[in-house]
Amino acid sequence: MSASTDHEIIVFDFDGTITTKDTFALFLRYYAGTLGWILRIFSLLPTFLAYGLRLIDRNRVKDRVISRFFKGKQISEIENRAAKFAQEVIPGLIRPGAQEALNELSDSRESLYICSASITPYLKSWGEGQNIHNILATELEVENGICTGRIKGWNVWGPGKVRRILAEFSPRSVKISHAYGDSRGDKEMLHAAEVSHWQPFRLSAHE
């Protein structure tokens, strides 16, 4: 680490990089149940249509999805479901190569970060099982133990990933020595890293 840099970190995206599927979508169904999920998704169809027509961006879609599923809910209830989801569902989604890479970094846990557009409750729970405590993800705004239905800070996607990393260390400086990602949402983070790894744990280009 250079003398001018306060911190040097290794950053992994989560969905698609460490896992084989998008965990946020899976958690919404796990949390609401099949019927509740169907009803909420049906009510969000105008939002998805507006996004498809490019009338709104993905950040606005994320806002509306979070509001529809979590507004007025107790954060303790969400965290309890998130802990079960992390225990029952996520292990079956972890790419073997990703797990091996995380295991190899067991001595670098202080400098290892997960940076994800997924929400923090289940990522933190999964991270605890991996002894990974540096989770930078989309946070739910909470007031008096109740979710407001809004995002606290930013949707940690695209430019929001670098913005979140910089905010975590501000006013100190930080260098991303290695970044691992798999999608457009990781572009800025990968460009900010000294060494970037694109879809490193996939067995084939079609996976």
- Which tens digits make up the pLDDT trace of 134-150? 999 999 999 999 999 99
Q: Read off the pLDDT of residues 1-59 as tens digits, 9 standing for 90 and up.
A: 444 568 999 999 999 999 999 999 999 999 999 999 999 999 999 999 999 999 999 99
44 falls within a domain: yes
Q: 15: exposed, middle or buried (C-beta count within 10 Å: 0-12, 13-18, 19+)?
A: buried
Residue 70 to residue 47: CA distance in whole angstroms? 16
203 falls within a domain: no
pLDDT of residue 207: 60
Residue 194 to residue 178: CA distance in whole angstroms? 6
In whole numbers, what is the pLDDT of the chain averaged over residues? 94
118 falls within a domain: yes
Q: Read off the pLDDT of residues 72-130 as tens digits, 9 standing for 90 and up.
A: 999 999 999 999 999 999 999 999 999 999 999 988 889 999 999 999 999 999 999 99
204 falls within a domain: no
User: Which range marks the domain in which residue 55 is found?
Assistant: 7-198
2 falls within a domain: no
207 falls within a domain: no
Q: Read off the pLDDT of residues 168-200 as tens digits, 9 standing for 90 and up.
A: 999 999 999 999 999 999 999 999 999 999 999
Where are the alpha helices (H) located in the chain, listed in sequence order? Answer: 23-43, 45-52, 58-70, 75-88, 96-104, 120-130, 159-169, 187-192
83 falls within a domain: yes
List the CATH number of the domain containing 43.
Answer: 3.40.50.1000
pTM above 0.85, yes or no: yes
Domains held by the chain: number: 1
pLDDT of residue 6: 82
206 falls within a domain: no
pLDDT of residue 203: 74
**Residue among 4, 7, 40 nearest 166 (CA):** 7
Instruction: Identify the band that residue 133 occupies on the pLDDT scale cut at 50, 70 and 90.
Output: very high
